[in-house]
Amino acid sequence: LWEFRGRALFALACLVLSKVANVGVPLVLKQIVDALENRPGQMLMLPLSLLLAYGALKLSASLFNELRDIVFAKVRYRAMRRLSTRVLEHLHNLSLRFHLERQTGAISRDLERGTRSVSQILNYMAFSILPIVVEFVLVGGILFTQYDAVFMMITFGTVLVYGVVTVAVTEWRMDFRHHMNRLDSEANSQAMDSLINYETVKYFGNEKLEVNRFDDKLSAWEHWAVKSQTSMSLLNFAQGAVIAVGVTLVMIFAARGVTAGDMSIGDLVLVNAFLLQLFIPLGFLGIVYRQIKYALADMDLIFKLLDRKPEIQDAPDAHPLELKGGRICFDQVDFSYQPERVILQGVDLEVPSGHKLAIVGHSGAGKSTIARLLYRFYDVTAGSIRIDGQDLREVTQESLRAAIGIVPQDTVLFNDSIYYNIAYGRTSASREEVEQAAEMAHIRGFIESLPDGWETVVGERGLKLSGGEKQRVAIARAMLKRPQILVFDEATSSLDSKTEQAIQKTLDQVAQHHTTLVVAHRLSTVVDADEILVMDKGRVCERGTHQELLDRKGMYAEMWDLQQKNGLRIIQPVSNRSFDEKVLS
């Protein structure tokens, strides 16, 4: 990270100083051994300075190592933080299609492994690879300048063979790691999915099925994990054999040098100490290389995710939406999720500013798709959608979505307090405004009757609340947002009769001040709409007011008669009445 380049350079300086001190220890040890060898009768006269220098070098090596760790910690953890934040931001920027197809458990596990791998790679680079390289250069320079070239040749040759063996075997083993990662993510995804659908599992008594599916994945993962561990043991043995041969050869030549009188006992101790300093961390370097390869494999899916482009992007010259009342216009809109499955065909509709348009029809007719297209979760296949004459593809997504408030059929809440979930509609709202929105949604009394009141935690996805309670929270949240355009997608489908009537009156009053699009199955909730569109198989087959459609005796009239026979409640349209505009303005 460039913002911490000063820290990184200081950490590098500490690294070099620690290795200089580390290499100095065998040099001082040689002087001590030679002093003892040359003056056996004067052991008590050994210069105190050598012993103090030996201790000082040991202490300095430790001090600079710890300083390096302290200074570099902020760089490492900031990198983890930045990657995690970037991935989450990227996930939020990806389009709805990706999130409908994603596996939450797998992405969660991939993100966890990927961010951990960043820390590991930085850690290995700063604390393993660079220290070994620096120490290798220092030791190689001393061996080359002060001793026979054979020592340096054996040392370098051992390192070269060690590197070749490590790379070759590790590359062979990488396929095992990829299999393990894939199966680990799939197993985690299955486990998460079964827990999210806990009630469904219980309804059908399929606990054993879910556990068996999870265990099957782990069984395959176990197979590859065993192969990975077995091959790692083989690699460890091969690395140990290479180091053992190298150390043995160096010691043979050093012993011959002492016997021939070309080297002192101190030289033998020095060469042996250098070899231990080089080959012990070199043995760890093999582990480091494997871990870096594993870390890169773990990060692979994160990088692929970051490379994925959002399906819906702002145009290069996109401008903020300029609202002049909120008139909505669909002009010959065609849309399909997949080419072979057409959802909308030639849809024309217009909602004048301040008017209420209802869209009704059987399931699968394309009603909710219209709301998704208005929110620009998808782009139209053909035709255009305009708000106040501005094509949605020419304005920024942020400004478009700020202008629209939606109450979805399937309300999902955050695992936080009720207050937080309502205030989410406009985070800058005062507590009084939040409470007023809850009052309008007929949920304030319920909230204040709870033991924890506004601080009641609703559970994951709002599972601690009933369907009707969640829907009223969603209505309060949408009202608090104070958008110019309101979309109600089956907004009262989960409410009891009494609450629905009360909220329907509130929604009708809200619609007087907003451009409103209502997607409904229950016709009784849209009888007062300025215009009703009846959809069938992706086309608008009828349009008009409630009475006009009944008089036409077409599809709408048939649906009306059917719902009346089935006893669906009828809610009469409310007349215009005064309304507190402090929240709605």
Mean pLDDT of 468-492: 84
Summarize pLDDT for 399-450 with one digit per residue, the tens. Answer: 988 888 888 877 788 888 999 989 988 888 899 999 998 988 888 888 999 8
Please give the pLDDT value at position 34: 67
441 phi, psi to nearest 5 deg: -90, 5
Q: Across the chain, which distance is largest between two alpha carbons, in Å?
A: 125
Please give the pLDDT value at position 5: 67
Please give the pLDDT value at position 234: 85
Please give the pLDDT value at position 330: 92
The mean-pLDDT minimum among 207-216, 261-270, 280-289, 322-331 falls in: 280-289
* Residue 8 pLDDT grade (very low, low, confident, very high; cuts 50, 70, 90): low
CB contact at 8 A, 540 and 348: yes
Summarize pLDDT for 46-66 with one digit per residue, the tens. Answer: 566 666 777 777 787 778 777
CB contact at 8 A, 190 and 212: no
The residue ranking higher by pLDDT, 334 or 251, is 334
Buried b (16+ CB within 10 A) or exposed e, 142-168: bbeeebeeebbebbeebbebbbebbee
Q: Is the pTM of this model over 0.75?
A: no
Look up residue 453 and give its DSSP letter. Answer: G
Please give the pLDDT value at position 329: 93
Please give the pLDDT value at position 511: 64
CB contact at 8 A, 88 and 308: no
Please give the pLDDT value at position 585: 33
Please give the pLDDT value at position 48: 64
Please give the pLDDT value at position 102: 61
Residues 6+ apart with CB under 8 A from 57: 21, 22, 24, 25, 28
Summarize pLDDT for 356-380 with one digit per residue, the tens. Answer: 899 998 877 788 888 889 988 888 8
Please give the pLDDT value at position 172: 83
476 phi, psi to nearest 5 deg: -60, -40
Residues 6+ apart with CB under 8 A from 211: none
> For the chain, what percent of residues have pLDDT higher than 90?
7
Q: What is the H or E stretch that residue 519 is in?
A: strand 515-519
CB contact at 8 A, 392 and 565: no
Q: What is the H or E stretch that residue 297 is in?
A: helix 265-307
Mean pLDDT of 18-30: 73
**Strands of the 356-361 sheet, one edge to the other:** 404-407, 485-489, 515-519, 356-361, 531-536, 539-544
- Is pLDDT at 244 greater than 60 in this prediction? yes
* Residue 575 pLDDT grade (very low, low, confident, very high; cuts 50, 70, 90): very low
CB contact at 8 A, 584 and 482: yes
- Is pLDDT at 263 greater than 90 in this prediction? no
Average pLDDT of every residue of the chain: 78
* Residue 506 pLDDT grade (very low, low, confident, very high; cuts 50, 70, 90): low
Please give the pLDDT value at position 375: 85
Residue 40 to residue 36: CA distance in whole angstroms = 6
SS3 180: helix
Please give the pLDDT value at position 579: 30
Summarize pLDDT for 61-74 with one digit per residue, the tens. Answer: 778 777 777 777 77
Residue 229 to residue 218: CA distance in whole angstroms = 16
Please give the pLDDT value at position 290: 67
Please give the pLDDT value at position 157: 85
Summarize pLDDT for 313-336 with one digit per residue, the tens. Answer: 888 888 999 988 889 999 999 998
Residue 581 to residue 433: CA distance in whole angstroms = 12
CB contact at 8 A, 111 and 302: yes
DSSP track, 378-407: S--SEEEEEETTEEGGGB-HHHHHHTEEEE
Please give the pLDDT value at position 339: 77
- Is pLDDT at 568 greater than 90 in this prediction? no
Residues 6+ apart with CB under 8 A from 33: 264, 265, 266, 269
The residue ranking higher by pLDDT, 129 or 246, is 246
Residue 411 to residue 475: CA distance in whole angstroms = 10
SS3 470: helix
Q: Which two tokens stand for residue 130?
A: 């660079």
Query: Which residue ranges form the domains of the chain, and what is each CATH number?
Result: 2-307 (1.20.1560.10), 321-403+483-585 (3.40.50.300), 413-470 (no CATH)
Please give the pLDDT value at position 97: 73
* Residue 509 pLDDT grade (very low, low, confident, very high; cuts 50, 70, 90): low
Q: Taking the CA atoms of the chain, what radius of gyration do you get in angstroms?
A: 36
Please give the pLDDT value at position 583: 35
Please give the pLDDT value at position 576: 36
Residue 72 to residue 81: CA distance in whole angstroms = 14
Please give the pLDDT value at position 470: 84
Please give the pLDDT value at position 113: 67
